[in-house]
Amino acid sequence: MRDEEGFKPPPYPYDRLDELKPLAAHHEGGIVDCSIGTPIDAPPKQVVEALANSDMERSYPPSIGTVAFREEIASWSLNRFGCKIDPATEIAAAVGTKEFVAGLPHWMKLRDPNRDTVLYPAVSYPSYEMGATLAGCRSVAVPVDENWSIQLEAVSKEDRARALLLWVNTPGNPAGGLDDLDAVANWGRTNQIPVFSDECYCEFTWDGSPRTILSSGTQGVVSVHSLSKRSNLAGLRAGFYVGDPDIVEYLREVRKHAGFMVPGPAQAAAVAALSDQDHVEQQRETYWNRLNRLSNILSNMGVEAPLPRGGFYLWVPAPDGNAWAFVERLLKDIGLLASPGEFYGPLGGGYVRIAAVQSDERIQLLEQRLGMN
């Protein structure tokens, strides 16, 4: 009898770009890497000071988040969205949000073993699908429209009946789409499907004001946030989730048993970051300027690069629909590394994603290579 083969992790998407990087070796100044959305700007001074002076290194931090962290999250939610949240029952800390996204289906399946399906946007962050795979769940990609907004009416009756949870992402990564989150919340409640809304890019909403799924209440919904993008703190791994008290309580207890803890100094830094909005406004201006410059660079190459409705990525149709060939062309012609759209689902295969995370000096290098200045 042949033993059944176990799970073999697929190649990590961005590792697949390594073999292409030598294509930019002939450019003086080297490669300009816009493939991953890792922040490069300095966090606020007061955040670094809070990190250094927290005096919270010795003791284990509370898994659910310190009282100060949860109260600051509640204050921020009220000031930013007008949402009144109970810090005692509706908020908890996460170690960044990638681990939360990847682990969530496993924990939710333990809670409801009769359901086995994770719904997520067809063009989206790859960890939604991978989280389902790691939990042994079905993953069902929900279609998106021409504006990259999720189309929940396309979810079949069978998939609704089997759905463990739904992921939405506004603004969306990679395409910058914006969903009607009140409508999404209502759909989830009507179908008794918990909705998790990844709102890590909410501060970088360009079309209208930042939005949250909590605007219509917390019943059946959870918003997920990170300080990585908002405050350039990706190295700290500080995030949080807010919403339905029953779901939050369940996840808090499961994660407490598993030992998920945001380090104490990181929580102190997160409090300082959330209490200041000025640095966010400055970062918004920085990203918007970079998006425009990168869009103009591509225009000078004869490629249309529309600005997003949200987020700090350009989602660019590849000439002739061949994303990998376009990635190679960008490396050869100007030394820019982009991500092929297939990383974000098969429907993204004709696009490339370009992250506006390089400094003004590095973007100027691209402009110089095209003779733009």
Q: What is the pLDDT of residues 204-243, one digit of tens each?
A: 999 999 999 999 999 999 999 999 999 999 999 999 999 9
- CATH number of the domain located at residue range(s) 13-30+278-369 in this protein: 3.90.1150.10
Instruction: Give the model's pLDDT for residue 4.
Output: 77
* Architecture in CATH for domain 45-274: 3-Layer(aba) Sandwich (3.40)
In the chain, residues under CATH classification 3.90.1150.10 are 13-30+278-369
User: What's the Cα-to-Cα distance from 292 to each of 171, 266, 304, rounded to whole Å?
Assistant: 18, 33, 12
pLDDT in tens, 35-87: 999 999 999 999 999 999 998 888 999 999 999 999 999 999 999 999 999 99
Q: What is the mean pLDDT of residues 138-165?
A: 97
Q: How many other C-beta atoms are found inside a 10 Å radius of the C-beta of residue 191? A: 16
In the chain, residues under CATH classification 3.40.640.10 are 45-274
pTM assigned to the model: 0.95
